[in-house]
Amino acid sequence: MGALTVLSTTASLRATLVDAAVLVAHLILYPTGIAQERSLSAPSATGSAARLPTEGRAHPPVLLLHGFVDNRSVFVLLRHSLHRHGWRHVEALNYSPLTCDLRSAAELLGRHVEEFCARTGHHRVDIVGHSLGGLIARYYVQRRGGDARVRTLITLGTPHSGTRVAPLMSAHPIVRQMRPDSDVVAELALPAPRCRTRCVAFWSAADQVMVPATTARIVHPDLRAENVHVDDVGHLALPVNATVAAGIREALTASAAARPDADAISVA
């Protein structure tokens, strides 16, 4: 037992140190992601995209949604990974750091998804949300009819059952909505019959922002949900970890294999 405790402590310390390094790097990159991303037209099939691997070429567009007081710069490495493996349309949505209501953020997300679909010519999108971003996306899918537009929802360190961390921050309204006893968490526990979105939740026992760590798992009888545990990855490291990125690509590819006709429809 003593050896196991030492190994656990060492792994936890390592995850904390990596998270600290990620925080420093992200603070440097943060200014580059403050402005909303400029919408880009789809790349030509005869251009450089045609030479990319075929792994992601048939997939719907991917929309990335950051966490609390963050911005799209957190997804620099994940975007690069998806583009390198053939995903042609990958964009990130910034919501305001002054956002005080998760439901309003879900409405904004819904409008952006509609615009994204219209611009790319796809009926559905995939969403990857980190922390609060995953909770906003789940609310949109489960409570605002977003399952009609979202094929796959992937969450990274998202407080699906609420987190008890940092009670002093509960003065912020949206932090209160991430508490276990919030109305939002209660709404997400309500029945969600015939929800069409496949959900994949990545969680880590080393995530010190999720208290308890298992709150980052999706447990709901009506949802098609898969929970993926990753070893020794802290909260801030989840969007930049190479193993997590590979797992995200695998999950998106699995969705295409499961329903190729319904999930990769293009009207272009």
Per-residue pLDDT of the chain (268 residues; tens, 9 = 90+): 554 444 456 766 777 887 888 778 777 877 877 777 765 444 444 444 444 455 555 689 999 999 998 888 999 999 999 999 999 999 999 988 788 999 999 999 999 999 999 999 999 999 999 999 999 999 999 999 999 999 999 999 999 999 998 776 778 899 999 999 999 999 999 999 999 999 999 999 999 999 999 999 999 999 999 999 999 999 999 999 999 999 999 999 998 777 644 443 332 2
The predicted pLDDT at position 259 comes to 60
The predicted pLDDT at position 168 comes to 64
Q: Which token pair is 165?
A: 């961390």
The predicted pLDDT at position 57 comes to 56
Distance between CA atoms of residues 109 and 195, nearest Å? 18
**Residue 122, strand partner residues:** 266
The predicted pLDDT at position 234 comes to 95
Distance between CA atoms of residues 125 and 168, nearest Å? 36
Give pTM, 2 decimals: 0.85
- Asked if 94 and 30 count as a contact pair (C-beta separation under 8 A), the reply is no
Q: What is the DSSP string of the chain?
A: -HHHHHHHHHHHHHHHHHHHHHHHHHHHHGGGGSSPPPP-PPPPTTTGGGGS-GGGTTSPPEEEE--TT--GGGGHHHHHHHHHTT---EEEE---TT---HHHHHHHHHHHHHHHHHHHTBS-EEEEEETHHHHHHHHHHHHSSGGGTEEEEEEES--TT---S-GGGGGSHHHHTTSTTSHHHHHHTS--TT---EEEEEE-TT-SSSSSGGGGS---TTSEEEEEE-TT--TTTGGG-HHHHHHHHHHHHHHHHHSHHHHS-B--
